[in-house]
Amino acid sequence: MEDNGLPEEDNQEILQNLDESGQTEELVEMFEELPTPDVVEFLEDKPVQDIISYLSELDVEDQGRIFSDFAMDLQLQIARTFDPKKVANIFRHMYSDIRADLYQQLEKEEQIKLLPYLDKKTREDVIILSAYPPETAGGIMNTDFATIYEGMSVAQAMAKIRHDAPSKDMVIYIYVVDDAMVLKGFVTLKDLVLADPETKIDDLIDEFYVYAEVNEDRESVAKKVEKYDLAAIPVLNSLDQLVGIVGHNDAIEVIRAEQTEDMERLAGVIPSSEDEGYLETPSLKHFQRRVGWLVGLAAMGILSGMIISEYQGVLEKFLILAMYMPMMAATGGNTGTQAATVIIRAMSLGDVSNSDWLKVVLKELKISALLSICVAALTYLKIVYLSFQGLAPESFTIAFVGMTISLAIAIQVITSAVIGAGLPLIVKRSGGDPAVVASPAITTLVDITGLLIYFSVASWLLKVT
């Protein structure tokens, strides 16, 4: 498959015109030439029966290539429409990790009907890959790689690579193993092409390599691929045997999935385990993912009402305090969320660990102290120059009341920053996901602490009981 050099919009327009004019033969030829994402984008908008009809016109290799890029729900629809023998033919030419994912999504009866039609290699491959948990390296690895042996010549190695026939996306690294499939190192395809055919692999092998363990968390694997800028990373079992590889495309998918999950948790939404779009997800499922946090935080918010009720006398005497409560709450929430976001990001990049908690807290104290001065100064100027004396009792000047409110908000900024930075670290240390406590949770918590600070400072300086 080669890129035809046309913009994506032109590709879609060409396909659409061929489809509307009934030029099926030319359309199928375009499917074979165009980049897979363009073909998939065109087909996914069609009825399932039309997709099946188009796929049937392609050779089985192109069917497997295109089918692998379909969304999982569309793959399932087509697999359940085709007879098991036809599905088995497509299975053989799918990317190994994707077909394992599809196999896991099939019902048990569907799996049983499919297995007899798979060749031995594909059947063993599907069963083995399906056995690993999806959140591990084994769950995202594929078996589309080439191996050569120690002691081979370059000519012998090239002959074996041609026999293994890995896809062009996975032939950059050639892995050197012994008879027991223990990984010894790797060579690049460039090394082999440029070397003399009689050169021994032992003279070309790079014995220093980055690898992932089969049960290693998939996010850790993706970070290794990103850190070392790898096209693929080998996956080893406990015996150091090569069992698969994770390509950079799979790593990107993991990073994107983890970022989406973190964003959902930051917003107080329970992450979904299914790869569904917003419009494709039923409203009830959206409701179920949001209601827990929303109701829980609303229940916590009752405490805010109780605090305000407790200090009702202060509010009655100083009406101006009520005017600046929204500013206090917003400032605290924004400060806490800022701190939490920065720390969670630093933790995800490995810049901050649990052992750095004291450094983090001290650093946030310094930062928030500077922020509090800016916010307090702005608040004071606003109260003094934009508020009138009638909002405060005759025995107090508007300047003194402004100083009181500014001090309370300054303290709120500092405590909010410490809470926002410290809470994710505490959750991480306890084995939880720090993103869970971000945004809504921290906002609710700093609202409660902010009200206590606000009214405590006001009662103390304004001498109201």
Where is average pLDDT lowest: 66-75, 96-105, 139-148, 431-440? 431-440
Q: Give the rounded percent of residues in the chain with a pLDDT score beyond 90.
A: 22
- If one compares 270 and 352, the residue with the highest pLDDT of the two is 352
Spell out the domain ranges in the chain. Answer: 8-134, 147-255, 283-461
Q: The tokens of 187 are what?
A: 């060579």
Determine which of 257-261, 326-330, 428-432 has the lowest per-residue pLDDT on average: 257-261
CATH number 3.40.50.300 given to 283-461:
no
pLDDT exceeds 70 at position 267: no
Rounded distance, CA 458 to CA 404, Å? 6
What CA–CA distance (Å, rounded) separates 223 from 137? 12
Distances in Å between the alpha carbon of 123 and those of 116, 127, 170, 328?
A: 8, 6, 21, 63
CA 384 to chain centre: 48
Question: What integer pLDDT is reported at residue 275 of this predicted model?
Answer: 55
Any idea what the Cα angle at residue 418 is, between residues 416 and 421, rounded to 5°? Answer: 105
Task: Quote the CA–CA distance of 463 and 461 in Å, as a whole number.
Answer: 5
pLDDT tens string 410-442: 999 999 999 988 888 888 887 766 766 666 778
Which one is predicted more confidently, 277 or 190?
190
pLDDT at 309 over 90: no
Residue 2 pLDDT level (bands cut at 50, 70, 90):
very low
Q: How crowded is residue 193: how many other Cβ atoms within 10 Å of its Cβ?
A: 9
Residue labelled with tokens 């006001």: 458
Q: What is the per-residue pLDDT across 216-225, written as a single tens digit (0 to 9) for each?
A: 999 899 989 9
pLDDT at 311 over 90: no
Token couple for 333: 């929430």
Choose between 388 and 173: higher pLDDT: 173
Return the CATH number of 147-255, one of 3.40.50.10860, 3.10.580.10, 3.40.50.1000, 2.40.40.20: 3.10.580.10
| Contact (CB, 8 A) for 411 and 454 | no
User: Which pLDDT band holds residue 388 (cuts at 50, 70, 90)?
Assistant: low
Q: From start to end of 46-199, where are the E strands? A: 147-149, 173-177, 183-188
Q: What is the mean pLDDT of residues 97-123?
A: 86
Tell me the mean pLDDT in the region 84-98. 87
User: How high is the pLDDT of residue 384?
Assistant: 85
**Which tens digit of pLDDT belongs to each residue from 72-83?**
888 998 888 888
DSSP 106: S
Residues 6+ apart with CB under 8 A from 216: 136, 137
Q: How high is the pLDDT of residue 409?
A: 93
Q: What is the mean pLDDT of residues 205-221?
A: 92
Q: pLDDT confidence of 276, banded at 50, 70, 90?
A: low
Between 1.25.60.10, 1.20.1250.20, 3.30.1360.40, 1.10.3720.10, what CATH number should domain 8-134 receive? 1.25.60.10
Cβ contact 170:158 at 8 Å: no
Whether the per-residue pLDDT at 124 is higher than 90: the answer is: no
pLDDT of residue 1: 42
300-304 long-range contacts, CB within 8 A, separation 24+: 300/444, 300/445, 300/448, 301/444, 301/447, 303/448, 304/447, 304/448, 304/451
Mean of pLDDT values over 380-396: 75
Q: How are beta strands 183-188 and 173-177 bridged, if at all?
A: antiparallel
Six-digit token string for 3: 């890129």
Q: What is the mean pLDDT of residues 384-398?
A: 72
Tokens of 432: 């939880």
Residues 296-306 have pLDDT tens digits of: 777 777 888 88
Cβ–Cβ under 8 Å, residues 201 and 161:
no
| Cα–Cα separations (whole angstroms), residue 407 to 277, 326, 376, 396, 414 | 47, 16, 6, 16, 11
Q: Are 356 and 386 in contact (CB under 8 A)?
A: no
Cβ neighbours of residue 321 closer than 8 Å, sequence gap 6 or more:
314, 315, 405, 454, 455, 458
Question: In residues, how long is the chain?
Answer: 465
The C-alpha atoms of residue 141 and residue 164 are separated, in whole angstroms, by: 18
What pLDDT score was predicted for residue 204?
Answer: 93
H and E: helices and strands count for the chain: 22, 6
The per-residue pLDDT for range 287-297, each reduced to its tens digit, is 776 677 677 77
pLDDT band at 242 (very low <50, low <70, confident <90, very high): very high
pLDDT of res. 168 = 64
**DSSP 3-state of 234:** strand
The candidate with the shortest Cα–Cα distance to 324, out of 192, 450, 157, is 450
Q: Quick one: average pLDDT of 188-204?
A: 92
Q: Pick from 327, 337, 289, 324: which is nearest to 444 by CA? A: 337
Higher pLDDT pick, 132 / 272? 132
Mean pLDDT of the chain: 84
CA distance between the termini of the chain: 79
Q: pLDDT value at position 57?
A: 87
Q: Which helix (H) or strand (E) holds 351?
A: none
